Amino acid sequence: MDYKTQDVRVPGSPNTTFPSPETHEAVVRPPIVSDAEQSEIRRFLLGRGSSTLQDRGFAWLMLGCALSIFAIVALIATELVLRSQLTIQKFGITFFFGHAWDPVSGNFGAFPFIYGTLMSSLVALCIAVPLSVGVAIFITEMCPKFLRGPLSFLTELLAAIPSVVYGLWAIFTLVPLLREHIDPVLIKLFGWTGLFAAPDFGLGTLSAGVILSIMILPIISSLTREVMTAVPHSQREAVLALGATRWEMIRMGVLRNARIGIVGSVILGLGRALGETMAVTMVIGNSPQIMKNLLAPAYSMASVIANEFSEASDDMYRSALIEIGLALFIVTILVNALARLLVWAVTRGAPPRAA
């Protein structure tokens, strides 16, 4: 195409020429569709008829899919409330503070299970949070590019391993390792605190906390990476421009701006730890007692439901187990909602990620 040009004199550059306005319009103007092509497209659009019905049907279908989530949650909550009416009417709020669990005499108290669930989850957080944040910092800020992909994949792969596989690995590997090598050291160094005391059978709150920490590590690490990635690069550059080291840049420019999102990821990991069933059931010892010793057997809310629901011989027994499930359901919903809110508070203003 032969473009027209016009001479535009610029001081200091007398020989500079630029395309004329007509040339510019020719360059940016979209291609012209021939009459034959327009007729073919027009015939297709007229021949297919009106699509109003299809559009409305698709919109209602998508709305139904979205509302089905609310319906499922409402049905679960309704069923749990209805099935636990016997214990709600008999024990009331004292059900959650009672220490006795005696199905023979019909005396039920859920506090030992609440205590075991909270203690094992707290141990899991104490182990998983530093490790998860360290992994996220390394992958996001310090990892070489050739290693970043495989390491991220392996970290997220931990979340895909079935719970029962974690439980089997814990029984045959983790429990003997703790009983023979780790627990004796803890008893010797921290036995005076009462948290680690003999006898030690390997099955207890500590074992459940360790296996839970491995299971929630990919959740906390992945969300922490997303939150750290959402921190603008200008924050990093500004801190480095002031003469900060890499560690100071990560601590002041990244972690400080991402702290709310990191807390949200930790709470989301806590929600996973509270509801975990199979792996915890296999290593916690399943004994409804309240003890300060982390090496002693305990019981969790999910474990007691899994172990005893098939053995429930009367309506009151089943109602007590279902009410424990109701309490676990409510706690999990609230914890996950709080975590999502905190993560959204950080990532809502994040810039789009580069390809």
Alpha carbons 23 and 107: distance in angstroms, whole number: 91
pTM, full prediction:
0.76
- Select from 87, 163, 141 the least CA-distant residue to 324: 87
Element (H, E) at 107: strand 107-108
For 205-239, the three-class secondary structure string (H helix, E strand, C coil) is: HHHHHHHHHHHHHHHHHHHHHHHHHHCCHHHHHHH
Residues of the chain with confidence (pLDDT) below 50: 1-14, 16, 18, 21-27, 351-355
pLDDT at 29: 57
Residue 347's pLDDT is 61
Tens digits of residue pLDDT in 219-268 = 999 889 988 888 888 888 888 888 888 888 888 888 888 888 888 888 88
Query: Taking a C-beta distance cutoff of 8 angstroms, is the pair 124, 209 a contact?
Result: yes
d(CA 118, CA 270): 10
- Is residue 127 within 8 Å of residue 209, measured between CB atoms? yes
Cis amide leading into 11 (omega within 30): no
The whole-number pLDDT of residue 308 equals 87
pLDDT at 354: 42
**Residues 6+ away with beta carbon under 8 Å from 102:** 108
pLDDT of residue 33: 53
pLDDT at 104: 82
Q: What is the pLDDT of residue 128?
A: 93
DSSP track, 235-268: HHHHHHHTT--HHHIIIIIIITTTHHHHHHHHHH
Q: Mapping DSSP to helix (H, G, I), strand (E, B) and coil, where does residue 14 land? A: coil
Side-chain half-sphere of 160: how many Cα atoms within 13 Å? 5
Q: What is the pLDDT of residues 75-114, one digit of tens each?
A: 998 999 998 888 888 888 888 888 888 888 888 888 899 8
Helix (H, G, I), strand (E, B) or coil at 162: coil
For residue 151, give both structure tokens.
């390491």
User: What pLDDT, on the 0 to 100 scale, is given for residue 276?
Assistant: 87
For residue 6, list its beta bridge partners: 18
- Dmax over CA atoms of the chain, in Å, equals 105
The per-residue pLDDT for 105 is: 83
Distance CA 261, CA 338 (A): 11
* Phi then psi dihedrals of residue 169, to 5 deg: -65, -40
d(CA 98, CA 113): 10
Delineate the domains of the chain, giving CATH numbers in brackets. 82-347 (1.10.3720.10)
pLDDT recorded at residue 50: 59
